[in-house]
């Protein structure tokens, strides 16, 4: 999807096989963001409500609200790229670069409205979803994507369902993945035996 939106260069997503420190040694480096997919169980919904109190508007970061259903993956991708924009390279006709430039000085709510009206991004989203990666499971448990990024030495969590990003404190390039994974382990622990978690990192590949 990132390629279809016109993000070029050597930054690509890679699977995270586990959130423990020894498992994270296999993650390609450098990496600048992490996306976590988790089931919206009752326990995690309650935890998210508690986290909402820590969310606040931050001028140093790019944040967009999620107003459309089933768009959390696209929102997480936007947060991932937007908050690493200086590291990215974009195709000349990049759909995503155009959107980010147009919404740079907007509020989170106005960015959401602009996204709702962006037919090009919607078409890419629908095209990827139609490939069969996004079909719901039989038990109808909802899943949700959030993103983590290092912005100016601070670890931020981005969830479009909140009113702003959550600052988890200081981080740095060589500890980012460990710091983000620590927050993610908190989700797993609160899920009380639920195993349906998945994570990917945005990392720089050796070949373009």
Task: Tell me which residues are annotated as active site.
Answer: 72, 144
Q: Which residues pair with 155 in a beta bridge?
A: 150
Contact 95, 119 (CB under 8 A): no
Strands (E) across 27-121 are located at 31-39, 89-90
Distance CA 170, CA 159 (A): 19
Structure tokens at 53: 């109190």
Sequence-ordered list of residues with C-beta below 8 angstroms from that of 15, at least 6 positions apart, any chain? 198, 199, 200
- Strand arrangement, sheet containing 31-39: 11-15, 198-204, 31-39, 143-151, 154-158, 166-170
Angle (deg, nearest 10), helices 176-190 and 42-52 = 130
- What are φ and ψ of residue 144, in 5° steps? -140, 140
Contact 115, 64 (CB under 8 A): yes
3-state secondary structure of 29: coil
């Amino acid at each position: 999807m990132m390629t279809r939106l016109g993000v070029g260069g050597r930054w690509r997503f890679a699977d995270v096989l586990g959130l423990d420190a020894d498992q994270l040694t296999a993650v390609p480096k450098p990496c600048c963001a992490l996306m976590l997919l988790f089931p919206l169980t009752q326990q995690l919904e309650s935890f998210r409500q508690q986290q909402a109190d820590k969310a606040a508007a931050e001028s140093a970061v790019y944040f967009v609200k999620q107003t459309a259903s089933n768009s959390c993956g696209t929102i997480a991708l936007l947060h991932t790229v937007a908050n690493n924009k200086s590291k990215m390279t974009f195709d000349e006709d990049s759909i995503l670069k155009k959107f980010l430039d147009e919404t740079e000085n907007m509020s989170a709510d106005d960015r959401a409205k602009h996204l709702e009206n962006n037919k090009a991004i919607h078409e890419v989203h629908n095209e990827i979803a139609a490939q069969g990666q996004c079909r719901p499971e039989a038990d109808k448990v909802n899943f949700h994507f959030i993103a983590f990024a290092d912005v100016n030495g601070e670890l931020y969590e981005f969830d479009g369902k909140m009113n702003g990003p959550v600052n988890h404190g200081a981080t740095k390039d060589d500890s980012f993945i460990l710091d983000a994974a620590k927050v993610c382990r908190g989700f797993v622990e609160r899920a009380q035996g639920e195993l349906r978690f998945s994570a990917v990192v945005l990392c720089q590949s050796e070949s373009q």
